[in-house]
């Protein structure tokens, strides 16, 4: 049986990855310091003999006894609010944490996959964003702690591939949503859905003309798994190209929750990207992957989850 280490395995994406690996008969060692992760995301796996949890901060040396076939590095604060609150931890897990996770993969002869992000494109000057675009990032802005850490992490991953011969993969993850998202992580989707369900005002930042493209978590996890099993070493965008303005998105959430909430406008955060949409032609071509769940379908499932939490 194969064995995988998932850093950040108690997080939103990490926990779904643990489920996916176990469903594919791969043993999982989940490592998380629970800074933004939550045990409730992995509780259902306790007692499963294929699953083990280690509470550990991966910016420190990672020791896992036994053989390991895959290292999936998914540990990081990942919402704008989180990395504004935790700037140093965000920089450390993207840099030191990536170094430690790569070191583990090298030691074990394991394949490594880095969770990178559409944030490496910054406030993009082209739309949609394809993998050859180098981005437009402000290194000294508040988002720089996340963007630059992930850019460093990509460079470090490529260096371990080229210099140490580690088998590496890089996934650039675009906005993703679904069950196990935290209600209060400050992101647009949990904010809008919980505001709508509580009948509170929906807080749209700026005039809401900025765009995002939201991917349902099951689709994303499927794409990441395919990339892990492929032989592509260069970054691959995984996301849903169905682009929508944030104002329209707020209206959609109001409609699907049947809420009476009104939209109110707040100040736009610094360096908030004006557009974001993945070009997924590479993923289609080399992984034969594309998202299957429409935004309405995914939103309905996610609203049900949020209802159970509120």
Query: 146 an active-site residue?
Result: yes
Least distance to ligand UDP, CB of residue 246, Å: 4
Using the minimum distance from each CB to ligand UDP, give the nearer residue, 79 or 261.
79
Which residue among 70, 83, 121, 146 is the active-site one? 146
Minimum gap (Å) between residue 107 Cβ and ligand UDP = 33
Nearer to ligand UDP, 80 or 298 (CB): 80
User: First CA to last CA across the chain, in angstroms?
Assistant: 40
Nearer to ligand UDP, 102 or 275 (CB): 275
- The sign of the CA dihedral 244, 245, 248, 252 is positive
Work out how close the CB of 279 gets to ligand UDP at its nearest, in angstroms, rounded to a whole number: 17
- DSSP letter assigned to residue 12: H
Nearer to ligand UDP, 42 or 204 (CB): 204
How far lies 19's CA from each of 6, 25, 66, 208, 288, in Å? 11, 10, 21, 35, 22
The DSSP-derived string for 155-208 is HHHHHHHHHH---EEEEEE--EE-TT--TTS--HHHHHHHHHHHTPPEEEETTS
Euclidean distance between CA atoms 182 and 184, whole angstroms: 5
Query: Which residue from 236, 214, 217 is spatially nearest to 226, judged by alpha carbons?
Result: 236
Name the residues that contact ligand UDP, by CB under 6 A.
79-80, 175, 187-189, 191, 203-205, 210, 212, 246, 269, 272
Q: Where are the alpha helices (DSSP H) in 24-169?
A: 80-85, 87-92, 98-108, 144-164
Find the shortest distance in angstroms from Cβ 204 to ligand UDP.
4
Residues with a known catalytic role: 146
């Amino acid at each position: 049986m194969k064995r995988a280490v998932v850093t950040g395995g108690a997080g939103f994406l990490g926990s779904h990855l643990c489920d996916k690996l176990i469903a594919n008969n791969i043993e999982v060692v989940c490592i998380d310091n629970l800074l933004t992760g939550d045990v409730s995301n992995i509780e259902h796996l306790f007692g499963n003999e294929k699953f083990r949890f280690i509470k550990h901060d991966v910016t420190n040396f990672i020791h896992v006894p036994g053989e390991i076939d895959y290292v999936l590095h998914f540990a990081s604060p990942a919402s704008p609010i989180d990395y504004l609150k935790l700037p140093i931890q965000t920089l450390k897990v993207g840099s030191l944490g990536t170094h430690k996770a790569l070191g583990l993969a090298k030691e074990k002869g394991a394949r490594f996959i880095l969770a990178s992000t559409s944030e490496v494109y910054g406030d993009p000057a082209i739309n949609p964003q394809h993998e050859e675009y180098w981005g437009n990032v402000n290194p000294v802005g508040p988002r720089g702690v996340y963007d630059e850490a992930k850019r460093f992490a990509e460079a470090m991953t490529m260096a371990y591939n080229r210099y140490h011969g580690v088998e590496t993969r890089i996934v650039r993850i675009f906005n993703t949503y679904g069950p196990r998202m935290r209600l209060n992580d400050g992101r647009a989707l949990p904010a809008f859905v919980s505001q709508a369900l509580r009948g509170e005002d929906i807080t749209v930042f700026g005039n809401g003309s900025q765009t995002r493209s939201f991917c349902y978590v099951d689709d994303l996890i499927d794409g990441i798994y395919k990339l892990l099993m492929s032989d592509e070493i260069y970054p691959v965008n995984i996301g849903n190209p169905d682009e929508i303005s944030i104002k329209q998105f707020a209206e959609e959430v109001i409609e699907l929750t049947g809420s009476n909430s009104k939209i109110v406008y707040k100040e736009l955060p610094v360096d908030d990207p004006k557009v974001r949409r993945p070009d997924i032609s590479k993923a289609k071509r080399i992984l034969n992957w594309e998202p299957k769940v429409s935004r309405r379908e995914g939103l309905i499932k996610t609203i049900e989850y949020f209802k159970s939490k509120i």
